[in-house]
Structure 1
Amino acid sequence: MFAMEQVTEILRGKGYKVTPQRLAVYEALARTKAHPTADAIYMDLQPEYPTMSLATVYKTLDIFSKVGLVQVLNVGEESFRYDANIDNHPHICCVRCNRVDDVHHTDTSGLVGEIEGETGYKITGRQMYFYGVCPSCQGVSSNVKN
Structure 2
Amino acid sequence: MYFVMETIEKLTKKLRSQGMKITPQRLMIFKVLENNTSHPSAENVYKRVKRIYPSVSFTTIYKTLETLRELGEVREFVIDGDRKHYDPNTNLHHHVICSSCKRILDVFEDFSPSVKLPDAVKKDYAVSGFQIFFHGICKECN
Report the TM-score when normalising by structure 2: 0.84
CA distance in 1 between partners of 2:45 and 2:87 (Å): 12
The farther-off stretch of 71-80 and 46-55 is 71-80
Task: Give the unaligned 5+ runs of structure 2.
Answer: none
CA distance in 2 between partners of 1:109 and 1:14 (Å): 35
The farther-off stretch of 22-31 and 63-72 is 22-31
1:10-30, CA deviations, whole angstroms, 9 ceiling, x for partnerless residues?
213333332222221121022
Task: Give the unaligned 5+ runs of structure 1.
Answer: 139-146
Structure 1 residue 69 and structure 2 residue 73: aligned? yes
Q: CA deviation at 1:47?
A: 1.7
Equivalent pairs, count = 136
The one-letter code sitting in structure 1 at the alignment partner of 2:80 is G
2:117 aligned residue: 115
Secondary structure of 1:42 counterpart: helix
Structure 1 residue 127 and structure 2 residue 131: aligned? yes
Q: Is the 8 A contact 2:29 2:61 kept in 1?
A: yes
The one-letter code sitting in structure 2 at the alignment partner of 1:133 is I
1:31-75, CA deviations, whole angstroms, 9 ceiling, x for partnerless residues?
421111111111111121111011110111111110111000111
Percent of aligned pairs with the same amino acid: 34
- List 4+ stretches of structure 1 deviating above 6 A: none
The one-letter code sitting in structure 2 at the alignment partner of 1:94 is C
Q: 1:93 aligns with which of 84, 91, 97?
A: 97
Q: CA deviation at 1:115?
A: 2.9
Alpha carbons of structure 1 residues 97 and 49: separation in structure 2 relative to 1, 3 Å = same
Q: CA deviation at 1:124?
A: 3.4
